[in-house]
Amino acid sequence: MDTQGTFIILIIFLIIIATPIAIVIAIVNSISKAKKLKAKGISIIAQLTHLEGLPLSSGIACQVISYADRIEINGSGNQFNLSKDKITDICLKSKTETQQYLVYRNNIKAIKTTKFFLTITYRNEDEIKYVIFYNSNKLLKFVKEFRKNKSTLTATAIDL
């Protein structure tokens, strides 16, 4: 067998052995990371884009961390802590926009884009306030966590 054939067999052998090992290492690292986060009391960590509700500019990237007792929001060097006792609702909304482009002569192509928005509504003394974030694949996790723990919240009566 020539050197090139031996080299190809060696590469195939390494791929067959290395791929399962790499997959196992990735799974172990993922489990280890999840355990470390859980040990710190973190159930969700996500990079979200701030739209409104905080004294930050719209479009600022924020790290949003859900702990057992609070949601921590870090953005532009500021840290905001929202006690889960104050949260009255967390919901997900979507907005679909259609943009039309002229492709070739009279052919118009329409492209639909959907943005998802996470709204966290909370009580601040006697006021109801909200924070809105958008565009992350983890938005639904916040809603599910809130719905799961909703039975521990008490309703708030507000006189208008």
Helix (H, G, I), strand (E, B) or coil at 99: strand
Q: Tell me the pLDDT of the chain averaged across its residues.
A: 84
Question: Helix (H, G, I), strand (E, B), or coil: what is residue 26?
Answer: helix
In 3-state terms, what secondary structure has residue 140? helix
Per-residue pLDDT of 38-90, as tens digits, reads 667 788 889 999 999 999 999 999 999 999 899 999 999 999 999 999 999 99
Say if CB 115 and CB 135 are below 8 A apart: yes
DSSP, collapsed to helix, strand or coil, labels residue 43 as strand
Residue type, 158: I
In the chain, domain spans: 1-39, 41-152
Task: Identify the pLDDT of residue 126.
Answer: 82
**What does the DSSP 8-state code read for residue 4?**
H
pTM (predicted TM-score): 0.68
Other Cβ atoms less than 10 A from the Cβ of 160: the count is 2
What pLDDT score does 35 carry?
64
CA angle 102, 106, 110 (to 5 degrees): 40
Give me the CATH code for the 41-152 domain, please.
2.30.29.30
Going from the C-alpha of 33 to that of each of 6, 36, 41, 62, 112, the distances in angstroms are 40, 5, 13, 20, 36
